[in-house]
Structure formats: C-alpha cells, structure tokens
Amino acid sequence: MVRGDLQRLAPTGEPDWLTLGQAAKYLGVAQSTIRKWSDQGRVPAFYTPGGHRRYKRADLDAFLERSGPSGATSGGGPVVLIVDDDERLREYVRVNLEMEGYFVREAGNAEEGLRVLDESTPDLVLLDVMMPEVDGWEMLRRVQERHGVGSIPVIMFSGKVDEQAASEAASRGAQGFIGKPFNPQQLIDQTKQLLPT
C-alpha cells in the first residue's frame, strides 16, 4: 500500500482509512475498546511504520454488520446505555465498564437516549435525573411506555439527594438509585451487581 491510498476517499467523500480516534468515533466506542478488539482480532487493523493503527472503513462496516447496531457480538458483554449531560462522567463510567467487558453506548440528553433505545435495546440504562429540557423521570416514563415497565433495568442517579428520591425511583420502576455527588465507582459497582458480565 502506498501513502496515497490512505488519503483515497470513499464514494461518500469520507476517507477509506481511519485513525484510531476516528474509528472509535465511527463505532461509538472508547479508543481503549477498539484497541482491545484489534488485539483480539475482532476488528482488523493496519499498522503504519510508526506503529499507529489504521482501520479500513469497509472492515468497520463488516464488523457492525456481524455485531448488530450495538456493536456487541453474541459473545460480547452486556450493553449499557448511560444518559447524562456530564460528558466527563459518561466517559469515566464508559471506560471503566468497557474494561470490565461491558459494551457502553452514550447519550448526552433524554431525546438522544431515546433515539439510541430505538436503534437497539440495551441490557441496562444508567439515567441521570437532572438533565435540561427532558429530565430523567420523564425519560424513564417514556422508556416504560415504549418497552414496558421493568423490561429494561434502569439505575437512576441524581445530585438532589433526599430520602424521598430513592423511594420515588423504586416506586417509578427503577431498579436502583444513587445520589450525587457520588464516587462513580458506585455506579459501576451497582451495574456489575445488577448485570454481571
């Protein structure tokens, strides 16, 4: 392969070859996850003379077709959707859960979370109560309306902590509640208890 091949554009105008970061974004996973998949042979990678990974778009498309919309293969880990407007928290939880064998999808608000749910049903939803526009309670109601109460386990978390919040979460059909500020490890631990890999 000559250097020019890396710059060749696909019919869509997008490059045929993607960097690690571009490939991770294309698949909707963390860079550490796609690295692990490459090491396991699940996603083919080309290594440049400098040791950098490059991914062919066609290989990524083939991987998605084999894996389904969530990217999790039948032998892969459970799929967790985290819905929170705090990007740093989502990233921390995602990276830690992926290292434990989970496949994580992210949404920055309730509307985005509902779109992800329509694409593929996760095994568990981690849902922030306090979000702009549509809050977590309303998203929980819509999830239950579309999929049925209890069909998708939900762990709620919130910065507004009182005794009533935890009982309200349970009465509304959530499987767990964690108050913020909290150690995100609590969310990871509760995920592992409710949904073992």
**40 and 132 fall within a common domain:** no
Which pLDDT score, from 0 to 100, does residue 1 have? Answer: 39
Q: Is residue 73 part of a domain?
A: no
Q: Is residue 170 part of a domain?
A: yes
Between 1-10, 23-32, 82-91, 143-152, the lowest mean confidence (pLDDT) is in: 1-10
Per-residue DSSP letter, 149: T
- The tally of CA atoms less than 13 A away on the side-chain side of residue 9 is 4
Percent of the chain, pLDDT > 70? 82
Which pLDDT score, from 0 to 100, does residue 73 have? Answer: 41
Q: Is residue 21 part of a domain?
A: yes
**89 and 134 fall within a common domain:** yes
Nearest partner of 177 among 154, 193, 195, judged by Cα: 154
Q: Give the C-alpha separation, 43 to 62, whole Å.
A: 9
- The H-or-E segment that residue 124 falls in is strand 124-128
Query: Which long-range contacts (C-beta less than 8 Å, at least 24 apart) are formed by 141-148?
Result: 141/172, 142/110, 142/114, 143/114, 143/117, 144/173, 146/114, 146/117, 146/118, 147/117, 147/121
**173 and 90 fall within a common domain:** yes
Residue where one domain finishes, among candidates 45, 67, 89: 67
Write out the residue range of the structural domain in which residue 137 sits. 79-194
Q: Is residue 182 part of a domain?
A: yes
Percent of the chain, pLDDT > 90? 14
190 Cβ contact partners less than 8 Å away, ≥ 6 residues apart:
155, 176, 178
**62 and 30 fall within a common domain:** yes
**Is the pLDDT reported for residue 170 higher than 80?**
yes
**105 and 139 fall within a common domain:** yes
pTM: predicted TM-score of the whole model, two decimal places = 0.62
Cβ(19)–Cβ(26) under 8 Å?
no
**122 and 50 fall within a common domain:** no
Domain CATH number, residue 140: 3.40.50.2300
Which pLDDT score, from 0 to 100, does residue 124 have? Answer: 92
- According to DSSP, the residues that pair with 105 across neighbouring strands are 81
Average pLDDT over residues 153-171: 80
Residue where one domain finishes, among candidates 38, 67, 96: 67
Domain CATH number, residue 41: 1.10.1660.10
Cβ(194)–Cβ(176) under 8 Å?
yes
**21 and 115 fall within a common domain:** no
**121 and 59 fall within a common domain:** no
* Residue with the larger pLDDT of the pair 6 and 39: 39
**95 and 130 fall within a common domain:** yes
**63 and 104 fall within a common domain:** no
Q: What is 63-119 written as a DSSP string? A: HHHHH-TT---TTSPPEEEEE-S-HHHHHHHHHHHHHTT-EEEEESSHHHHHHHHHH
**88 and 128 fall within a common domain:** yes
165 Cβ contact partners less than 8 Å away, ≥ 6 residues apart:
129, 158, 177, 179
**189 and 120 fall within a common domain:** yes
Q: pLDDT of 18-43, one tens digit each? A: 998 898 888 777 787 788 777 777 78
Give SS3 for 11: coil
**Is the pLDDT reported for residue 74 higher than 50?**
no
How many separate domains does the chain show? 2
Residue where one domain finishes, among candidates 32, 67, 102: 67
Which pLDDT score, from 0 to 100, does residue 161 have? Answer: 67
